[in-house]
A = this chain, B = another copy of it.
Amino acid sequence: MTIKEFAHAIGVSPATVSRALHGRGRISETTREMVLRRMEELAYTPNHNAQRLVGARTSIVALEFRGTPPLLTDFYFTQLTQGVQEALQARDCGLLLAAPGGAVWRWVSSRAVDGVVLVGGEGADYDAARRIAGRAPCVIIGHHPVNAAPNLGSVFVDLRGGARQVARVLTDRGHRRIAFLGGQSADAVLTEFRSALRQAGASLSPELAVRAGRTIEDGFQAMDVLLAGPVPPTAVFARRDALALGALAAARRRGLRVPEDLSIVGHDDVPQVRLTEPPLSSVRVDCSAVGAAAVEILFQLLPGPERPPCPAALHTELVDRGSISIPPPPRHPV
Residues of A within 8 A of B (CB): 43, 45-53, 60, 70, 72, 74-75, 77-78, 81, 85-86, 88-89, 94-99, 103, 106-107, 109-112, 216, 245, 252, 271-272, 275-277
Contact = CB atoms under 8 A, between A and B. Distances in A.
Copies of this chain, whole number: 2
Contacts of A47: 53, 110-111
A23 to B, nearest CB: 18
Contacts of A60: 96, 112
B89 A99 contact: yes
Contact of A75 (B74, B81, B99): B74
B85 A48 contact: no
Chain B CB within 10 Å — which of A75, A99, A109, A276 has the most?
A99
Contacts of A110: 45-48, 51
Contacts of A72: 271
Q: Is the interface of A mostly helix, strand, loop or mixed?
A: helix
Contacts of A45: 106, 109-110
Contacts of A276: 275
7 contacts: A48-B110, A49-B111, A50-B53, A94-B98, A94-B112, A96-B96, A275-B276
Contacts of A52: 49
Contact of A49 (B53, B78, B96, B103): B53
